[in-house]
C-alpha cells in the first residue's frame, strides 16, 4: 500500500501512484497542486454543476457527470434533467476545499464546470470563445487569433479575460450580466467569432467542419446553452499534466501552453490570482451585436445541413 494521509477530513489513498504512463505526475502531485490552488480555483467551480475527467488504474479516462453511489452526503449535488439522455443527472457541485480534495482522491484530473449556475444551467454567466489550432499548428497563430478576438470585443465595447486551455489552445471569457437570455448570448458569441474571422481570414476561421478549416485557427462559438468549459487552474490529462492558466493579454506573446503544469504553475502564480485580477465585471451585450449574431446560422446546425448536402452530391456523382 502506497502512502496515504488525511486533509480536511478526507482520507487520501495511493498517493504515490502515477496518474498515467505519460502524465509525469503522481496522484500526490495532483492533490498537492489542487490543494495549493484551491482558493483561486473554487470561485470558478462554486455553484456550478461539474463534470470531471477521471482516470482509474487499468481503465481508459472517462468523463463523469453523475456522482457515484458512494459519494459522501456532505458533497453537494444537484439533479438536472438531461434532454439528450432523457434522465436526471446528479452532478457534484464543488463549493469548498473538502469537496475538491475528495474529487482529487477519486482521481478526477480535469474539472469542467457548466457556464450556468445550478439554479439555471442554461443561463451562461460568461460568453466564451474557444480558439483551437489545427493539427500541428503553431501556437503563435492561436495567440494572433486571440488578439483578433480582443479587437472584436473592443469594437463592440466589451472586454474579456484569456487563459490557456491546458491543451494547445486558448479560451477567451467575457462575463455578461443577466439582461440577455441564452439565445442572445449564443448569438453574440457567433457575431464575435465572425468578426474575429473577418479581421484576418487568413489566420482565423469559423468553419465547423474540420476539413474546411484549411490549416487555420478555429474560433469555436458553440460554448453556450448548458455547455461546459475547463476551469481556470484545472489540470489536464495530457503528457506532463499541464494546467489551464490565466494570463494577462500582454503576456500572451511570450508563453507556450507547456509552460504551466502541476509542477510549475504555483511558482508561476507568484502568490497572485490572475483570473480574478484580469476578469472584468459582468457587461451588457450590445443590441447590434446580438442582431448581427441572429443573422449567422448556428454552427452545428449549419454543418449538419452542409454534410447532408455534400452526401447528396456524392450520391448523385456515383
The answer for residues whose C-beta is within 8 angstroms of residue 138's C-beta and 6 or more apart is none
Q: Does 279 map to a domain?
A: no
Going from the C-alpha of 225 to that of each of 185, 267, 300, the distances in angstroms are 9, 36, 13
* pTM score above 0.75: yes
The answer for residues whose C-beta is within 8 angstroms of residue 255's C-beta and 6 or more apart is 164, 247
Q: Does 248 map to a domain?
A: no
The domain in which residue 13 lies consists of 5-121+228-234
Q: Does 84 map to a domain?
A: yes
pLDDT in tens, the chain (318 residues): 455 699 999 999 999 999 999 999 999 999 999 999 999 999 999 999 999 999 998 889 999 999 999 999 999 999 998 877 789 999 999 999 999 999 999 999 999 999 999 998 889 999 999 999 998 889 999 999 999 999 999 999 999 999 999 999 999 999 999 988 999 999 999 999 999 999 999 999 999 999 999 999 999 999 887 789 999 999 999 999 999 999 999 999 999 999 999 999 999 999 999 999 999 999 999 999 999 999 999 866 555 545 555 555 566 665
Q: Does 293 map to a domain?
A: no
Sheet with strand 108-113: strands edge to edge: 62-64, 50-54, 108-113
Q: What is the CATH number of the domain that holds 22?
A: 3.90.920.10
Q: Does 59 map to a domain?
A: yes
Domain count, the chain: 1
Question: Which residues face 170 on adjacent strands?
Answer: 131, 164
- In whole angstroms, give the CA distance from residue 111 to residue 229: 8
pLDDT tens-digit profile of 174-193? 999 998 899 999 999 999 99
**Other beta carbons within 10 Å of 289:** 25
**Do residues 198 and 95 lie in contact, with contact meaning Cβ atoms separated by under 8 Å?**
no
Q: Does 115 map to a domain?
A: yes
Q: Does 65 map to a domain?
A: yes
**Do residues 44 and 232 lie in contact, with contact meaning Cβ atoms separated by under 8 Å?**
yes
Amino acid at each position: 500500500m502506497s502512502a496515504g494521509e488525511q486533509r480536511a477530513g478526507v482520507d487520501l489513498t495511493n498517493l504515490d501512484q502515477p496518474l498515467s504512463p505519460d502524465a509525469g505526475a503522481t496522484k500526490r502531485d495532483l492533490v498537492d497542486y489542487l490543494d495549493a490552488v484551491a482558493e483561486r480555483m473554487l470561485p470558478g467551480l462554486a455553484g456550478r454543476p461539474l463534470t470531471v475527467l477521471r482516470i482509474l488504474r487499468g481503465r481508459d479516462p472517462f468523463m463523469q457527470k453523475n456522482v457515484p453511489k458512494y459519494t459522501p452526503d456532505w458533497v453537494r449535488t444537484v439533479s438536472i434533467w438531461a434532454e439528450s439522455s432523457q434522465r436526471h443527472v446528479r452532478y457534484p457541485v464543488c463549493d469548498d476545499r473538502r469537496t475538491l480534495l475528495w474529487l482529487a482522491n477519486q482521481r478526477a484530473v480535469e474539472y469542467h464546470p457548466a457556464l450556468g449556475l445550478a439554479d439555471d444551467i442554461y443561463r451562461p454567466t460568461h460568453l466564451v470563445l474557444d480558439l483551437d489550432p489545427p493539427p500541428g499548428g503553431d501556437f503563435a497563430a492561436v495567440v494572433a487569433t486571440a488578439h483578433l478576438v480582443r479587437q472584436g470585443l473592443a469594437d463592440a465595447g466589451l472586454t474579456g479575460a484569456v487563459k490557456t486551455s491546458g491543451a494547445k489552445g486558448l479560451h477567451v471569457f467575457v462575463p455578461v450580466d443577466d439582461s440577455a437570455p441564452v439565445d442572445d448570448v449564443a448569438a453574440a458569441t457567433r457575431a464575435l467569432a465572425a468578426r474575429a474571422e473577418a479581421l484576418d481570414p487568413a489566420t482565423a476561421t469559423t468553419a465547423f467542419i474540420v476539413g474546411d478549416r484549411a490549416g487555420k485557427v478555429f474560433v469555436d462559438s458553440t460554448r453556450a446553452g448548458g455547455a461546459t468549459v475547463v476551469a481556470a487552474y484545472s489540470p489536464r490529462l495530457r503528457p506532463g499534466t499541464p494546467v489551464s492558466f490565466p494570463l494577462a493579454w500582454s503576456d500572451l506573446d511570450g508563453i507556450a501552453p507547456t509552460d504551466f503544469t502541476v509542477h510549475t504553475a504555483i511558482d508561476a502564480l507568484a502568490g497572485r490570482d490572475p483570473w480574478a485580477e484580469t476578469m472584468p465585471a459582468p457587461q451588457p451585450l450590445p443590441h447590434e451585436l446580438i442582431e448581427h449574431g441572429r443573422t449567422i446560422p448556428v454552427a452545428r446546425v449549419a454543418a449538419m445541413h452542409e454534410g447532408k448536402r455534400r452526401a447528396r452530391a456524392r450520391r448523385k456523382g456515383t
